[in-house]
Structure 1
Amino acid sequence: MSRRRLLQGAALGSGAAFAGLGSRFAHAAPATPLSFIGWQFQPQIVEENVNTFKSLYDEAVNYELVTGDYHPVVETKLTGGQRIDMLYAEEDHIARWCTAEWTRDLEGLDGVDEMKAGMFPVSVKSMSLPNGKLAGLPYYAGHNAFIYNEEHLQKAGLQVPDSWDSLLDACRKLKKDGISDAPYNSAWGQKWPELSWSIFSCWYAEGAPVFDAKNDFVDDAALRKVLETHQALYKEQLVAADIMTLPNEGVPSYATGRHTFMVLHDYDQKVANDPKLSKAAGKVKNALMPGKTKSTFAWTAVYMMGAQPTDIDRTWTLLRFFGGKSKDGQYHVIKRWALDFGLGSAYKEVMADPEVVASFGKWRDLAVTNKQLELATSRDIAKQIWFPEWDLFMMQRVQEYIRGSMSTDQIVDELGKKVAELKQQYQ
């Protein structure tokens, strides 16, 4: 059985097509709770948001927190036939789940076109299926940013590096001068928001397409440059020895003030500049990514609707409350994420809100951020249903490469062959 059929197996035996959902479930009793599954970010606040929704709309919702590795756990639940009305997903799973008929697109639902018109195009693209249909509403919009400790550079008499070669040279001097024993830091673990996101950001910054229009792997000089830079950073002990197992994507480690540079999720700049959480607070600045193009990886996480919701109208109301405006015209959930945690939004209106602008400006240079977003790249390849499997394989093998177990020729050959293998299996 092909992987495509395996993905679809549980869904094909579980019920009707979408066309009849509106009439079939529209009269479900309000006492029947909607089901909502979420990951481990601030679950206590999610509970509060659920309670706000229940009160505002006189609704019933069962919120379930998924511990562990979110996407594989949810896929197990969906394969087992669990009915879920609303769930989180990252951009690398939306097409996979829609293809398996576990979730549905949102086209044709009330207000969708107006909502898309109010979003940044890169976010709409990130949340859309290969056929252009919107697959979810935005949870938050993020990108990987490049930060540096200004005090460290001043002590070393260095400028902010704008290439991978100058970054390596800066790290060598910082270590030689005793300013930082591990000047570079990043998320190099195997979870989906770690090495995958950070290395794609570096690849895009150097101009590596990674995949072409036919979804084939591209072995080029830019891709090899980034790989070899990662290997050199590790070999020369310019990173922490345990960088591949650092908790929380390496952010707490950076907050110790030990490191000079880091590629990290843009919202984590708030942590790095919070004096309650970081010894480097006030010294951390953001700059454009090093590399020839200065691009980075940008994504938008989503709230998705289950393929067979308890009630399509009630579920759509739940999605709109969490992923847009509520009926009172407020962005209750999205604005709170922005103000409390620095999470960016797909909505232009939210990012232009004076409170949000003032809050974000306290911990990062907004002009640099806006320029970085202009240059950012969305990861179209993530819309291929085989991509999550390749992505995990890539992280595992790249870790081994970084440790020096194979040559650059060997790693790029393996990555290319894995793409061909998975494309064949998913036919």
Structure 2
Amino acid sequence: MMTPLQQYWMSRRNVLKGAAAMSAVTLAGRPASAAPATPLTFIGWQYQPQIVSENVETFKKLYDENVTYELVSGDYHPVVETKLTGGQHIDMMYSEEDHLARWHTADWTRDLEGLPDLESIKAGMFPVSVTSLSLPDGKLMGLPYYAGHNAFIYDEAQLSKAGVGVPDSADALLDACRKLKKDGVSEAPYNSAWGQKWSELSWSIFACWYAEGAPVFDANYDLVPDAAFRKVLEFHRTLYKEQLVAADIMTMPDEGVPSYCSGRHTFMVLHDYDQKVVNDPKLSKIAGKVKNALMPFKTHSTFAWTAAYVMGKQPVDVDRTWNLVRFFGGKAKDGQYHVIKRWALDFGLGSGYKEVMSDPDIVSSFSKWRDVDISNKQLSLGTSRKVAKMIWFSEWDLFMMQHVQDYIRGDGSTDQLVDRLVTKVADLKKQYQ
């Protein structure tokens, strides 16, 4: 029998084969009485698809619309690219920020400039979200699905047992881990997402790079392997070498969150919304003991991102599709944030809108499982990855994760790794010029 936590992750990540077809068939061909005959097409990834289906139904009733929703199982972005390359028509789809420019360059999506109320919508967003959702030329490519950042958490009871304070630097964090291990409080005090997925090692190591003050890339999108960049690499290698992390950290399922919920670890860098999971008594053995603090590196910045709803290049109707994008990625015509507020209250997902994040219901809900003031300060210090708008970035990112994993395990020197990463940037820029 599965535990509640296993059931949660099954619901969140693992959708049964055939669910995509079921979703498309169930929602297609059931227009309201005044709905257009031609449906809008919406394609989405594996996160709470049953709720997305409900949201589609709400939109259809509110706007007298007709929508076909298709769920993509598997690795979302490559699957969608295959569909688009094959000529499948899509009016609205999800996208992470590192695919916005790539899909726009491929002529699969259109920017939102000139659409009704766009300037006032931008003004209501956090600046870091506007940056995340924009092309290098400033054109907005999508509206917020959710806004997140990598957060730093700790088990307060374990720190108290070891007589250790909350670390505020990389060196202090290493020393705290060493003491926790030596004293037998935790065999693997540090945990994070180190797998080879765009939302795992890429996000967690960029969070550490930005927190230490590394720009990572300069204004020309060349790699900057400065002292801060190298220190973070060596920090990761030291954690692994001294067995301050679990031996299977690079293959842990579900970004390592279930492992942290078991009480095995003291510290973790994780997606901010997963703080709700680790402090849920139904899902976590250490609920109520987990606190958040600013990233314990030199500048205390972090990686912040905003996922998007984007519009296909040639929607069946621009006005109808804009209504769909605004309903899911903003405020509906009745003045309600139907989708965004539900994500926040039910699952702890942050929003790119200032108004949403100051909503009393959301503030009250979030305060039950994290320090909201610290979280807001962390977000204000967050850094958006402008380099992710380069069409070659996703390829470099995968290359980086593969070679950083090898380096952490002990392969080669820091200089050798840096040379590989710098050379790969140059090769990709030449390839895509």
Report the TM-score, using the length of structure 1 for normalisation: 0.93
Asked whether 1:314 is paired with 2:320, we answer yes
Q: 2:265 aligns with which of 229, 254, 259?
A: 259
What is the distance in 2 between the residues matched to 1:163 and 1:294? 9
Match of 2:173 among 153, 167, 173: 167
Which residue does 1:147 correspond to in 2? Answer: 153
* 1:302-326 deviation line (CA, Å, top 9, x unaligned): 0000001111111111001000111
Partner SS, residue 147 of structure 2: strand
Deviation at 1:166? Answer: 1.1
- Other structure's SS at 1:93 match: helix
* Secondary structure of the corresponding residue to residue 123 of structure 1: helix
1:123 aligns with 2:142: no
- Please point out which of 135, 159, 163 is paired with 2:141: 135
Aligned-partner Cα distance in 1 for 2:227–2:400: 18
RCO comparison, higher one (Cα < 8 Å, 6+): 1
| Partner in structure 1 of residue 378 of structure 2 | 372
Taking the TM superposition and a 5 Å limit, the aligned residue runs for 1:273-312 are 273-312=279-318
Matches within 5 A, 1:215-234: 215-234=221-240
Matched length: 399
Q: 2:63 aligns with which of 57, 64, 73?
A: 57
* In 2, Cα distance between equivalents of 1:228 and 1:94: 32
Query: 1:332, 1:260 → 2: CA distance?
Result: 36
Shift of 1:164: 1.0
The answer to which of 154-163 and 55-64 deviates more is 55-64
Matches within 5 A, 1:38-53: 38-53=44-59
Instruction: Please give the alpha-carbon distance, in whole angstroms, between the structure 1 residues aligned to 2:59 and 2:314.
Output: 21
Does the CA-based 8 Å contact 1:255-1:277 persist in structure 2? yes
Cross-structure match for 2:333: 327
Q: Deviations over 1:95-147 (max 9, x none)?
A: 11111110000000111111111111111111011110110000001000000
In structure 2, distance between residues paired with 1:292 and 1:405: 27
Matched, 1:79 2:95: no
* 1:349-381 deviation per Cα after TM superposition (whole angstroms, max 9, x unaligned): 111110000001111111111111121111111
Q: Does 1:245 align with 2:240?
A: no
After TM superposition, give the deviation of residue 259 of structure 1 in Å. Answer: 0.5
Aligned pairs for 1:406-425 within 5 A: 406-425=412-431
Q: CA deviation at 1:31?
A: 1.4
Please report the RMSD computed on the Cα atoms of aligned residues, expressed in angstroms: 0.8
Displacement, 1:257? 0.9
Give the aligned residue type for 2:208. Answer: C
User: Partner amino acid for 2:430?
Assistant: Q
In 1, Cα distance between equivalents of 2:76 and 2:58: 25
- Asked if 1:111 is matched to 2:105, the reply is no
Matches within 5 A, 1:78-97: 78-97=84-103
Q: Tell me how far apart the structure 2 counterparts of residues 75 and 192 of structure 1 sit (CA, whole Å).
A: 16
Q: Are the aligned partners of 1:206 and 1:292 in contact in 2 as well (CA < 8 Å)? A: yes
Q: Distance in 2 between matches of 1:50 and 1:393?
A: 37
Distance 2:55 2:162 in 1: 47
Match of 2:364? 358
Cα distance between partner residues in 1 of 2:37 and 2:325: 18
- Length-normalised TM-score, structure 2: 0.91
Kindly provide the CA deviation profile for residues 242-290 of structure 1, in whole angstroms up to 9, marking residues without a partner as x.
1111111111111111110000000000001000000110000000001
Match of 2:211 among 194, 202, 205: 205
Q: 1:394 aligns with which of 394, 400, 405?
A: 400
Counterpart AA for 2:112: L
- The percent of aligned pairs where both chains have the same amino acid is 78
Which residue does the alignment assign to 2:40?
34
Query: Could you list the runs of 5+ residues in structure 2 that have no partner in the other structure?
Result: 1-34
- In 2, Cα distance between the equivalents of 1:50 and 1:406? 51
Within 1, Cα distance between the matches of 2:419 and 2:286?
41
Name 2:351's counterpart in structure 1: 345
SS in 1 for 2:310: strand
Instruction: Name the structure 1 match of 2:390.
Output: 384
Which amino acid in structure 1 is aligned with residue 56 of structure 2?
A: V
- What displacement does 1:327 show? 1.2
Separation in 1 of the partners of 2:403 and 2:180? 29
Q: Does the alignment pair 1:404 with 2:410?
A: yes
Corresponding residue of 2:14: none
Moved over 4 A (4+): none
Q: Which amino acid aligns with 2:170?
A: W
Q: Does 1:99 align with 2:105?
A: yes
Contact 1:31 1:59 in 2 (8 A): no
**Could you tell me which amino acid in structure 1 is paired with residue 101 of structure 2?**
A
- Counterpart of 1:16? none
Partner of 1:92, secondary structure, is: helix
The residue type paired with residue 302 of structure 2 is T
Which AA in structure 1 matches 2:79?
A: V
The DSSP-based 3-state class of the residue aligned with 2:304 is strand
Please give the per-residue CA displacement for 1:146-189, whole angstroms capped at 9, x wherever unaligned: 00000000000001111111111111111111111111000001
Is residue 156 of structure 1 aligned with residue 162 of structure 2?
yes
The 3-state SS of whatever aligns with 1:62 is strand
